[in-house]
Chains A and B, each alone.
Chain A
Amino acid sequence: MLVREIMKTPVTTISPDTTFLEACKLLQEKGIRHLPVMENGILAGVITDRDVRFATSALCPSPQQGSDPVRSAMSASVVTADPSDPIEEAARVMRAQKIGCLPVVEDRSVVGIITNMDLLDALLRLAGVYDSTGRLEVSLDDVPGELARLTSFFGHRNVNIRSVLTYPNGQGLIRTVLRVDTNQTLPLAEALREAQFTVLWPMPKPWLR
C-alpha cells in the first residue's frame, strides 16, 4: 500500500501571514488537526491545532494574539513523504519523529497529506476487517515455503483469503493471522489441524479435549 492510496486531497493550506484566529477557524470548520503553511508556492512549515492553542494560551510564556500571524508558532523544518513511499515507511518516519502528519510533496508542491488517522485506516484495511470474514490464527515454522503451504491449503478449497498478517512469535515461529471469506472457519481449523498445521484459533472445544 502506497502513500498515494491513503493520502487526503485536496490539502487545506495557509500562509505564514495567516492569523491564529483564521487558522483556528479553519481547523474547526474542516475538522482537521494539521495545516501545511505555504510561502511562494513552497512548503514553509506545518502548524497543528496544538501549536495554535498553546501559542495563544495564557500558559504560554509569550502568548500571541488572535490577530498575530502564525509564522512564529509553525514548525519550519517539515518531514515530508513522496506519493510512492510505502505506507510502512511513512509510519516509521512519523513514529520515529513523533509527528502526527506528513505533507506529501511532489515537484516541490504539496499534493496530499497523511495523518496518523489515515495510517489507522490503512491498518484496518490491511487487516481485512471491512469484509465479512472469519479469522484464523496459525503458527508457522519460520522457514521458506510454510506460508505457501498454508495459502495453497485455502486455494485448494476455493476459499478466498481477504488478508494475511504475519509477525514473529519467538522461538523460530511466525504467527499468521488470516481473514477468510467464509462462515466455515471452525471446520477449516479442523481440516488445518488434520493437515498438521498448528492452529492457535479457533481452538478445539474445551469439553472435547
Chain B
Amino acid sequence: MASVIYHPEYRRYDFGEDHPFTPARLACLMDLLASLGYPISAVEPPVASREEILTVHGEAYVAAVEALDRGESEAGAMEHGLGTPDNPIFPGMDLAARWLVGGTLHGARLIADGADTRVLQLGGGLHHAARAKAAGFCLYNDLAVAIQEFVSRGWYVAYLDIDLHHGDGVQSLFYESDHVLTVSLHESGYYLYPGTGHIHELGSGSGRGMKINIPLEPFTEGDDYLEAFDAVVPQALSWFSPRVLVVQAGADGHFADPMGDLALTTRTYQALYTRILDLAARHTEGRVLFTLGGGYAPAVVPRVWALLYLTLMDLPVPERLPEDWMVKWAHVLGPGAIATLHDPDPPYPAFAGGEERRRRNRNTVSRLLDSLSRYWF
C-alpha cells in the first residue's frame, strides 16, 4: 500500500493544445483506475510556497516566471528557457508549477515525518528544470525541492530516474552534494535531448562518484535495459546506503513513445517497479517516493502508470482494459488501441542490430563501473 498524492489543481499545468505534456494524460489514467474498480483516494497536498521554490531555484528566475505569468515583458524569456516551443508561456504557470512541487514536497514530508513509507505523487517529475532555467517542459524542479527537504533534515537520498531522458536538472542541482546519489538510465544523449548524461559525469567535490549515468543505445530493448539496471543500481545503493529513494517514473522509454527510441514494454516497467520496491525494502526500510514524468503515447501512458499504481498498492493486475473506458477515451487513445493492460506478446516485430546494441550497452556499463570503482569502497 502507498499514500497517493494528487490535487485537481495539477491540471492547470497545461502548455496548451498540441503540446505533448498534457494533463489529459492524468485524467485518462485516473479514469482508467476508477474503471478498473480502484478509484483514487488521494491526499491533497498544499501548494508550494515561493520560499520553497527558492530552496533550489534562483530568485531572478522565479521573478522572471512570475513576471511572464502576469503577461509582463517577454524580454529575457529566452535566457530562462521560456517562450519556446517546449516551454510556452501560459497564464497561471507559476501557480500551476507550484502545485506540482507542493505535491512532491508533501510526499517527501509524509516520509520524512514517518507518516508513510511508500508514496506515489500522481504528477510532477519535472527533472529537466535547472536553477535558473526552464527546460524540456519543466518549469520548477519538484524532485529537487523534495530531495532538498530530505537533505535539510540530514537525510541521504538516492534519486533514481527511469525516464527516457537524462535527469539533467536534478543531477546538476546536486552535482557537488555528498547527500544525494543520482542514478539516471536514459537513451544516450548523442542524439536525444538534452544531450548530457555521459558515463564520465560523476559529480564533483565531495559529491564525486555519486552521480551515475547509464546512457543506453537507441532501440535498446527491455531485457538489456534490465541487465544494465541490475549491474549498477543495486551495487550503487549498497555502497551509498540511502535513507530514502526518490524515483522519477517517466513512461517515455516505452517502444511506442513518439519522443524517443528506447524499446521498453509494459512488462519491462512492471519488472522495474518490482525491482525498485525490492531495493527500497532492502536499503531504505521501504521508504520510496515515486513521481510521474515524461510519457507521450496516449494509448500507452495510462497503461504503464496504471501498472505503477497497481504494483505500489499491491493490487492484482487485470488482463483486459475496461470497455467503457476504451470507448470514453477512444478519441485520445487513437485508432487501433489495444484492449489489454499489458502490451501484446511479442510487442513488436523483431528487428536487427541487437548484438551490436548489446555489446555497446555492456561496454558502457563496464566502463562506468570501472570509473566508479575508484570512488566506491
Chain A positions near chain B (C-beta within 8 angstroms): 129, 131-137, 157-160, 179, 181-187, 201-203, 205-207, 209
Contacts and interface: CB of A to CB of B under 8 A. Distances in A.
A202 B348 contact: no
Contacts of B165: 183
Contacts of B352: 206
A187 B18 CA distance: 12
Interface of B: 20, 78, 84-86, 128, 135-137, 165, 168, 190-196, 218-219, 255, 258-261, 263, 348-353
Nearest to A189: B191
A186 B255 contact: no
Contacts of B218: 202-203
B86 A207 contact: no
B69 to A, nearest CB: 20
A179 B136 contact: no
Which interface residue of B128, B137, B196 has the most chain A CB atoms within 10 A?
B196
A36 to B, nearest CB: 32
Nearest to B194: A132
Given A133-B195, A206-B353, A186 B86 contact: no
Contacts, number: 81
B134 to A, nearest CB: 10
Contact of A135 (B78, B191, B350): B191
Contact of A201 (B191, B258, B351): B191
25 contacts: A132-B128, A132-B136, A132-B168, A133-B193, A133-B195, A134-B193, A134-B194, A135-B191, A135-B192, A136-B191, A159-B85, A182-B85, A183-B136, A185-B192, A186-B258, A186-B261, A201-B191, A202-B191, A205-B219, A205-B261, A206-B219, A207-B263, A207-B348, A207-B349, A207-B351
Given A133-B193, A183-B86, A205-B219, 5 more contacts: A132-B136, A181-B86, A182-B84, A202-B218, A203-B261
A131 B193 CA distance: 10
Contacts of B353: 206
Q: Which has the most chain A C-beta neighbours within 10 Å: B128, B193, B352?
A: B193
Contacts of A202: 191-192, 218, 261
Nearest to A136: B191
A206 B349 CA distance: 9
A206 B351 contact: yes
Majority SS of interface residues in chain A?
loop
Interface of B is mostly: loop
A139 B348 CA distance: 29
Contact of B86 (A129, A131, A184): A184
Nearest to A158: B85
B340 to A, nearest CB: 18
A32 B192 CA distance: 35
Nearest to A182: B86
Contacts of B137: 183
Nearest to B353: A206
B191 A187 contact: no
A132 B259 contact: no
Contacts of A207: 255, 263, 348-351
A134 B192 contact: yes
Given A132-B128, A206-B351, A187 B193 contact: no
Contacts of B78: 160
Contact of B193 (A158, A182, A201, A206): A182
Contacts of A132: 128, 135-136, 168, 193-196
Given A186-B260, A187-B259, A135 B86 contact: no
